[in-house]
A = this chain, B = another copy of it.
Amino acid sequence: MSKLYFRYGAMNSGKTAALLQVAHNYEEKGMTIVVIKPSIDTKGDNKVTSRLGIERQVDVLLAPGEGIMEHMISQKPNAIIVDEAQFLTPDQVDELYAITKMYNVPVLTYGLRCDFQMKGFPGATRLLELADDIEELKTICRCGKKATQNIRLINGEPTFSGSQIAIDGTENITYDSVCGECYLKLRR
């Protein structure tokens, strides 16, 4: 029985580099994979891109209401890999879970847990509830502690209100990853 994996981490913790490594490992062994990115993430179009300077074509740009099974059946992959998995809908996560159990295909998902207001992304929350294997990808705060939260900056200034989804680099918005203590201090 295959597993649903969720690898979560704050902004810039290396989720995409880890994904590209796993994709490479499968293909090096002669196996086939399907790389999925939810289409809500408009950054990078149909590519997944790591800040380390490596990237890869996406196989499926998945729309919010779209099913996954059809993509899987046509390609009979050895594994399914999902970047920006926080943008999956809860129903898509349920479908991925069923695929691991009914079709015995491992599914590896990478994404954020919470947004800049410390609210869970619906797709991430469902992954945390269902994943057979949860692992954190770690990065550090400027203070030296483990960064776990995401700060949204507008023109470099922290902001704590706004819509949940605003893609990095648009409308003068950037993000930084911080530890929980620094997050709470900044918010006060």
**Which A residues are within 8 Å of any B CB, using their own CB?**
1, 12-14, 17-18, 20-22, 24-26, 28-31, 51-54, 78, 97-98, 100-102, 113-114, 118-120, 124-126, 128-130, 132, 134, 136, 139-142, 144-146, 148, 179-181, 184
Contact of A181 among B28, B101, B119 (CB under 8 A): B101
Q: Once bound together, how far apart are the Cα atoms of A100 and B184, in whole Å?
A: 11
Measured in the bound complex, the distance between the Cα atoms of B134 and A53 in whole Å is 28
CA distance A145 to B101 in the complex (A): 12
**Are B20 and A52 in contact, with the CB atoms below 8 A?**
yes
Copy number in this complex? 4
A24 with B1, Cβ < 8 A, contacts A128-B125, A132-B180, A180-B97 known? no
